[in-house]
Amino acid sequence: MFKLLKYLKTKEWILLVVTLAFLAVQVWCNITIPEYTLKISEYLSIPDISPYWNDIVWTCVQMLLFVVGVVVCAIVAQYLASIIVSSLLARIRSKIFARVNDFSATEINKFSVPSLITRSTNDITQLQQVYTSTITLGLTAPMTAIFAIIKIVDLSRDYGAGTLSWVNIVSVLAIIFVVLLITILVLPKFKKIQAGTDKLNMVTRENLTGLKVIRAVGAEKEQEEKFERVNSRFAKLEFYVDKVLMIIEPALSTIMQGTTLAIVWIIGLLAGENPQLLLVMSAFTQYSMFIIMSFTSLSILFMLVPRGIVCAKRINEVLDTKTSLQDGNLTNENPSKGTIEFKDVSFRYPDADADVLENISFSVKPGQTVAFIGSTGSGKSTLINLIPRFYDCSDGEILVNGQNVKDYTQQQLHDIIGYVPQKGVLFSGTVKSNLKYGKEDATSEEIAKVLDISEAGFVYELPNGLDYHVSQGGKNVSGGQKQRLSIARALIKDPDILIFDDSFSALDYKTDKTVRQKLNEEYKNTTKVIVAQRIGTIMNADQIIVLDQGKMVGKGTHKQLLKKCKVYREIALSQLSEEELEK
């Protein structure tokens, strides 16, 4: 938990020192108040107090000033602690976000998306309470207890009542026993609770994402049962922890009241022989309450810290995880723009038993169109995801523009590649802001051009046109519209290489054909990589690569593959007739 404090800035360290100073003053004021209570008791014990009224009033005023000092110092310290903790956790949240952005798909899969969301939100929220309490209670509670114990020992010695010290020793031991018992019972559950939060997020996210499918197949009951199982386990954990923590308040209250009763009872027994003890009963009780309240505060802290440790550990796991995709240090650009070459490339997902791709070799010249086709699960999308380095190949070498992709920084590599995913992705904002993800300084003319090429002219018919608000995930536009805007966003970069991961599947045949014609006309010198299921989409490609169970079983033009590749011919005949294929 304290490892995260390295992200504090110098200004915040200074504020922390100032906060601790205010807390120290708060403790001093608090501990001093019973001394004035004792003075007032001594004045009131005098048979004729009329000459001392001014002294009594002044003592009361001083006592009130110390009370005000306690309140002011507590408020200022709490305020400063909130500033420090809020700034620290905002910075940590940003670092998590930035680190996750650098993760490859391997690291994302390792943690899972729901878990990363929980760590970025719920875990940090838990830490906020823990850090604030640690700063305030972590200093005031032990200091108050130490000074109160010293004062009690002094009073016991001065008034000959050593027995009273033992009352507080027994009380403190009882509190320690209760706190240790509860800590042992609940500590193992905190990690399970955070993991349970991950699972709740996962099921909820899965349900919301697939809501249409769930309704279409009538699986609402199954999803509710699935959620109920996870929710019940989580609720049982929370209930168990709450049930154990419920012991704290009555247990500590019992100890507190018992201590007060014991002090009054012992002083009552000893007052016959030592009447002076009646004068210190109020001060003694106050100091005893300080000790018990301090240990009560520490017990609360002990309950919070274990949960904070679990949350901090989960956050540190994200921050300490290095992406498997390390940037290269390429400084010289290669003049052969738009070339792609796979040299005996194989790929296996982490912890998988077998390769997804085996010994893939091919090359693409600048301006050519290369297409990949094969049955579902043949490895088409996996293969093209190796080009922009969403994953690193397990064996072999991939060259882009004549350079190994591992030699580029990720920024350099992504700057020369335009990527359109299989499922169009839009972000909350305007249409224009979504397009400018591809090129921040894109002009109106450039935007108009890519919208025309991608057949996305529908934008101008939307309310507010380019300033039309797109909801999260592009829920307020159709699938085809979303895909066309995704294509436009990739085109606006004017990259050396365009990758289309089955990106035309959401388009009708006419739009598909029109977009490809415009691409060939406007981007003659741009290399195009296409994954497709439709034979019609790839028939005119310069090179078609056929994959089957991760292996390359055919390579050539459409006509060549019809003659020599059985797999390609079977796929083609399942979609078009012999006459259509021969055109």
What's the pLDDT score for residue 555?
Answer: 92
Give first-to-last CA distance, the chain, whole Å: 69
Pairing of strands 417-420, 497-501: parallel
Residue 279 is predicted with a pLDDT of: 67
**Side chain identity, residue 138:** G
What are the start-end ranges of the H helices in 159-276? 163-209, 211-216, 220-245, 248-270
| pLDDT for position 337 | 84
pLDDT score at 65: 93
Closest CA to 301 of 145, 120, 93, 70: 145
Class of domain 2-320: mainly alpha
Indicate left, alpha or beta for 409 from its phi (over 0: left) and psi (-120 to 50: alpha).
beta
Q: What is the pLDDT of residue 410?
A: 85
Determine the angle formed by the axes of helices 444-453 and 479-491, rounding to 10 degrees.
130
Q: Determine the CATH number of domain 337-416+499-512+533-583.
A: 3.40.50.300
**231-237, Cβ contacts within 8 angstroms, sequence gap of 24 or more:** 231/200, 233/196, 234/193, 234/196, 234/197, 234/199, 234/200, 237/189, 237/192, 237/193, 237/196
pLDDT at 473: 79
The closest of 437, 482, 481 to 458, measured between CA atoms, is 481
CB of 347 within 8 A of CB of 376? no
- pLDDT number for residue 370: 94
pLDDT of residue 192: 81
Say if residues 576 and 536 touch (Cβ distance below 8 Å): yes
> What pTM value is reported for the model?
0.73
pLDDT of residue 275: 66
3-state secondary structure 416-427: CEEEECCCCCCC
Count of beta carbons in the 10 Å neighbourhood of residue 332: 6
Q: In angstroms, how far is CA 388 from the centroid of its own chain?
A: 25
Half-sphere exposure of 72 (CA within 13 A, CB side): 10
What pLDDT sits at residue 472? 80
Return averaged pLDDT per consecutive 10 residues of the chain, 583 residues in all.
Answer: 87 93 92 83 73 83 92 94 92 91 83 84 87 88 86 73 72 80 77 78 77 74 84 84 78 80 76 66 79 79 79 89 80 75 90 86 92 89 91 91 89 89 86 88 90 91 90 84 90 91 84 88 90 87 92 91 89 80 67
Strand order in the sheet with 369-374: 403-404, 395-400, 340-347, 357-364, 551-556, 543-548, 369-374, 527-531, 497-501, 417-420
In the chain, where does the domain assigned CATH 3.40.50.300 lie?
337-416+499-512+533-583, 423-494
Start-end ranges of CATH 1.20.1560.10 in the chain? Answer: 2-320
pLDDT at position 161: 61
Q: How many angstroms from the chain centroid is the CA of residue 490?
A: 28
Q: What token pair was written down for 37?
A: 């209570």
CATH superfamily of 423-494: P-loop containing nucleotide triphosphate hydrolases (3.40.50.300)
Output the pLDDT for position 241: 79
Assess contact for 376 and 351: CB atoms under 8 A. Answer: no
The closest of 430, 342, 350 to 387, measured between CA atoms, is 342
Place of tokens 């159709």: 478
